[in-house]
Structure 1
Amino acid sequence: MNYFITIMIGILLCGGGMLEASVADKMPQPTPQAAQPDAAPLLVNLSYVYRANGQGEFLPIKEGSVLHSGDHYKLILTASEECHIYIFQVDSANKIFQLFPMGSFGGVTLNNFNPVKQGETVYIPAESKSFELDAQTGAEKIYFLASRARNEELETAYQQLAEKQERNSLQEQLAAIDQLLKYAEALQQSAETAERPESVTWEENGQQFSAFLQRLENVRDGVSYVLTFEHR
């Protein structure tokens, strides 16, 4: 995968706006945290769902699923113990943005912060809102990372990126994004999904919806799970 992007990073939030930015300085090279082989795995239940053009029922997004511009989508998760969750999305133009944690987006207050509480159901971006796919088509990846402890190195790397987005140094921005994505790739190990008979229900725009959750197996500290779908 080519880890270089243009100066824009963005995503449409239903009822919200576009996030745009440029970055100046090169971020420090993160050092991937080693997973703890003797620690019990984290039990995380996760669902990626979408509605075609924002209409009808929510359907599951699976590896290799095909979505289209204008489709609405959201993430739903629960954890068996308190933990820190980090979720990034990368589109075909290698634009990267953070889905979680996220305080607000497009003028909408979300208050999606770490740590995620034990047994709490987290809706991303919110129970009553969804993201909307923009016009940038091609393969998209969602990186999901979980750890018991706060990952300050990853937070710092992304924060430095966000704070320097008001400047216009394309060359250094490319290097910064490259490092952040390689960091996520370096953490990727063998987290896998298994179907669970558990479901969640929520309401959006006056309609009630439900979705089945998947359990992420072998989720150890610092291990990531990557979902790829096709955006047409």
Structure 2
Amino acid sequence: MHRMKTTRAQTLNITCFCLLTALVCNVNSVHAQDILLEIEVEPNLRTLRLDGKMQDISLVAQSTRQDLAFKWTLQGPGNLLGDDESPGIFYLPPKTLDAGMPSQASVVLNVHDDRGSQASKKIIFQLLNAPEPLSPSEAEEPPPTPDRLSPSHSTPLVFHISCRYHPSHEKTFRPINEGSVLHSGDHYRIVFTPQQDAYVYIYQIDDSGLVFQLFPMDRFRGRPVNNFNPVQAGRDYYAPGKEMSFVLDELTGTERIYFLASRKQNRFLEERYEQLQKEPPSQQEALFHELLRQVMDQHGIEYTKPHDFDAIQDSLESLCQGCVYTLSFEHR
């Protein structure tokens, strides 16, 4: 077999050429790499109702690339809070839309690397003014009787709801069912997703008869949670908060959770609850049950006992307006 002879210098030249070729190919490969870009939005909303209580919207860039430069811009009403050249920013919606203002706001993220590759992503928010408050005459109008309920108001509400807990020495949440046994120090929370816009009220009574409101709630242990009514269809709500839990104290006995929902704000319930909080703990439970009786009477529902929802971790698919649903568990 014929063998071609090469000198050491030729071998060195060939090796250098191959290394240079590989380096050029690698640079071209990196240069041609696409930038995969997403934006995580929290809370994950696209339609914002401007009721003066809207919290800041967090937007965070998500990419597998670590060598990117960022630039956030806003097109439309509102403001951006934070460093507009960082991976994350906050969008603060306007409190209201004045005449002539656009009803849409776009937060745009542009990124690039030092090799000239670019990418952009846009999040569009639809802005809606909150409904006008009721006039005094409308506010004082008595609640509708069953005969006066419109078809839309008589349609059952649907909620996906989960009541879960974890022992103090664990981190995995378990479902709470009717009659479940929990212990002092256990953590628990309620998560629900309405399928229609609604007003939600959640209360808890401990074994001493003390009444607590779990939803709505603006602050928990000094931290803002911004759980306000009305709740919006398709959005997940956490009581007390997404990364928070209620904790059972040392007072043992039966704990009862009450869940109510309505398509309209129940000012009667809200005002009476505020008054109830001023009463001695020994009287609160009896007054609360009388309040529930009055709420159900407003909707023509006979008060016998609150409706139980044994499978609260699944869903309430025929939640009647003004009905009261309860879950009881033992605290030991």
Give the letter for the 2:290 counterpart.
Answer: K
* Residue 184 (structure 1) aligned with residue 292 (structure 2): yes
Question: How far off its partner does 1:138 sit?
Answer: 0.5
Alpha-carbon contact 2:209-2:283 (below 8 Å) kept = no
Of 262, 270, 273, which residue of structure 2 is paired with 1:155?
A: 270
> Which residues of structure 1 form unaligned runs of 5+?
1-30, 196-212
For residues 321 and 211 of structure 2, the distance between their equivalents in structure 1, rounded to whole angstroms, comes to 23
Question: How far off its partner does 1:224 sit?
Answer: 1.2
How far does the alpha carbon of each residue in 1:29-59 deviate from its partner, in whole angstroms, 9 at most, with x for none? xx99866596111001110000111523100
Q: Which consecutive aligned stretches of 4+ in structure 1 deviate over 3 angstroms post-superposition?
A: 31-38, 173-177, 185-195
Question: How far off its partner does 1:181 sit?
Answer: 2.6
For residues 134 and 34 of structure 1, the distance between their equivalents in structure 2, rounded to whole angstroms, comes to 41
The structure-2 alpha-carbon separation of the partners of 1:185 and 1:60, relative to structure 1 and needing over 3 Å to count, comes to farther
Give the letter for the 1:80 counterpart.
Answer: Q
For residues 236 and 217 of structure 2, the distance between their equivalents in structure 1, rounded to whole angstroms, comes to 16
Question: How far off its partner does 1:161 sit?
Answer: 3.2
Alpha-carbon contact 2:178-2:310 (below 8 Å) kept = no
Counterpart of 1:5 in structure 2 is none
Q: Report SS of the residue matched to 1:111.
A: strand
* Residue 226 (structure 1) aligned with residue 301 (structure 2): no
1:100-111 alignment runs, 5 A limit: 100-111=215-226
Counterpart of 1:130 in structure 2 is 245
For residues 113 and 224 of structure 1, the distance between their equivalents in structure 2, rounded to whole angstroms, comes to 20
For residues 84 and 217 of structure 1, the distance between their equivalents in structure 2, rounded to whole angstroms, comes to 16
Give the letter for the 1:181 counterpart.
Answer: H
Alpha-carbon contact 1:71-1:133 (below 8 Å) kept = yes
1:70-89 alignment runs, 5 A limit: 70-89=185-204
Give the letter for the 2:249 counterpart.
Answer: D
Which protein is richer in helix relative to its size? Answer: 2
1:1-232 alignment runs, 5 A limit: 39-53=154-168, 55-162=170-277, 164=278, 170=280, 174-175=282-283, 177-184=285-292, 187=296, 190=307, 192=309, 213-232=313-332
Q: How many residues matched?
A: 178
How far does the alpha carbon of each residue in 1:140-169 deviate from its partner, in whole angstroms, 9 at most, with x for none? 10000011111110000112234x47xxxx
For residues 203 and 292 of structure 2, the distance between their equivalents in structure 1, rounded to whole angstroms, comes to 9
For residues 314 and 145 of structure 2, the distance between their equivalents in structure 1, rounded to whole angstroms, comes to 25
How far does the alpha carbon of each residue in 1:89-138 deviate from its partner, in whole angstroms, 9 at most, with x for none? 00111111100001112211111110010101001100011010000101
For residues 140 and 194 of structure 1, the distance between their equivalents in structure 2, rounded to whole angstroms, comes to 17
Counterpart of 1:206 in structure 2 is none
Alpha-carbon contact 1:191-1:216 (below 8 Å) kept = no
The structure-2 alpha-carbon separation of the partners of 1:105 and 1:120, relative to structure 1 and needing over 3 Å to count, comes to same
Question: How far off its partner does 1:184 sit?
Answer: 2.5
Give the letter for the 1:216 counterpart.
Answer: L
Superposed CA RMSD: 2.6
For residues 46 and 33 of structure 1, the distance between their equivalents in structure 2, rounded to whole angstroms, comes to 28
Alpha-carbon contact 1:194-1:217 (below 8 Å) kept = no
Q: Work out the percentage of aligned pairs sharing the same amino acid.
A: 40
Q: Report SS of the residue matched to 2:241.
A: coil
Give the letter for the 1:180 counterpart.
Answer: F
Give the letter for the 2:286 counterpart.
Answer: D
Alpha-carbon contact 1:54-1:72 (below 8 Å) kept = no
For residues 208 and 283 of structure 2, the distance between their equivalents in structure 1, rounded to whole angstroms, comes to 15
> Which residues of structure 2 form unaligned runs of 5+?
1-141, 297-304
TM-score, normalization: structure 1?
0.69
